[in-house]
Amino acid sequence: MTCGIEEEYHATNINAYLRRTADDFKEPFTSDLPEIRELGLELVSTVKHYTLPPTFDVVNKDTTDKLKYSERIVAMVYPWLHDVFYRGLSDSRSEDEKRMIIDQYFCRIQTYAFEHSDFKPYLFFTEVVMKKKK
């Protein structure tokens, strides 16, 4: 059985929602989810953090620094994206073909990061503090 392009496209996509609001993080604690009640957890606070990582400060830097930056970008996403893409590619593809497709993909990410390294990206994360009810 061969897998078509559309099937591979769907199989290599990640179902993720990266734009959660503070209310999204509070929702499990304000809803009537029995799992949360059974765990006895109580929300203490949520805080959204925006950080400017100094390792990514490559604005107005030379080619060597921009190359290191682009390599770091790939190194950050490679471990978890590689498996998603590998498993999503059709079994009808040879190992060499899968490797070539994945290598091309990460090469494109690195090229894009190198060519668009003229800004300071912010990393953001949400800290959720909870405690066990007594």
What residue segments make up the domains of the chain, in order of their start?
A: 15-57+121-134, 60-118
Query: In whole angstroms, what is the distance from residue 60 CA to residue 52 CA?
Result: 16
pLDDT score, position 133: 84
Q: Supply the DSSP symbol for 119.
A: S
Q: In the chain, which ranges are E strands?
A: 41-51, 123-132
pLDDT score, position 23: 85
The answer to whether residues 99 and 39 touch, using CB atoms and an 8 Å cutoff, is no
Per-residue pLDDT of the chain (134 residues; tens, 9 = 90+): 456 788 998 888 887 777 788 888 888 888 887 887 788 888 898 888 777 665 566 666 778 888 888 898 899 889 889 999 999 999 999 999 999 999 999 999 999 988 887 766 666 778 888 888 87
Tokens 């949520």 belong to residue: 46
Helix 95-115 and helix 63-88: axis angle, to 10°?
150
Q: Supply the DSSP symbol for 121.
A: P
**Burial letters 5-23, b for 16+ CB under 10 A, else e:** eeebeeebeeeeeeeeeee
The answer to whether residues 22 and 43 touch, using CB atoms and an 8 Å cutoff, is no
Tokens 């061969």 belong to residue: 2
Tokens 């503070």 belong to residue: 22
pLDDT score, position 120: 62
pLDDT score, position 1: 42
